Homo-oligomer: A and B are copies of this chain.
Amino acid sequence: MLSKKTRYAFRALSYLGENYGKGPILISDISKAKKIPLKFLENILNELKKADLLESKKGKGGGYSLKVSPKKINLATVIRVINGPIALLPCVSLNFYERCEDCDETYCGIRKVMTITRDATLKILEKKTLHDIIFASI
């Protein structure tokens, strides 16, 4: 399951997507509009910025905005940044790979199934973008 933090991230990004092209948006505005605890949201947006999905501006007239169009931000990327691995096992993860002790990857049946599952999941999550979820929700 995705963490609450990840769901907050999606909601915040949706808001930024809805306001794409309108200049910097205040954290406090997003916090109010999407009912996300302000200081927690601050952290989330900062992580998204470090992952190069957002850009920010300090001082008056500052705030956050999407770095690229909502059509270019896919959901898999967001989940990886905030939630971590998408695969169900570390030995199957493309971006967070870790070897399994006491298990030979070449002959592991569980791993084979989880690889298929991962591919099916990614096929969807890498295709669906912020734009898709904003548009679907109007």
Contact = CB atoms under 8 A, between A and B. Distances in A.
A96 to B, nearest CB: 9
How many of these chains are in the complex? Answer: 2
A71 to B, nearest CB: 14
A121 interface: yes
Q: Taking each of A14, A87, A117, A138, which has the highest tally of chain B beta carbons within 10 Å of its own beta carbon?
A: A117
A1 B90 contact: yes
Interface residues of A, number: 39
Contacts of A103: 11
A133 B113 contact: yes
A89 interface: yes
Interface stretch (A21-29, A44-52, A54-62, A124-132): A124-132
27 contacts: A1-B85, A1-B88, A1-B90, A2-B88, A7-B89, A7-B100, A10-B110, A11-B103, A11-B110, A14-B109, A14-B110, A34-B102, A35-B102, A75-B113, A108-B137, A109-B133, A109-B134, A109-B137, A110-B133, A110-B137, A112-B133, A113-B125, A113-B132, A113-B136, A116-B124, A117-B125, A120-B124
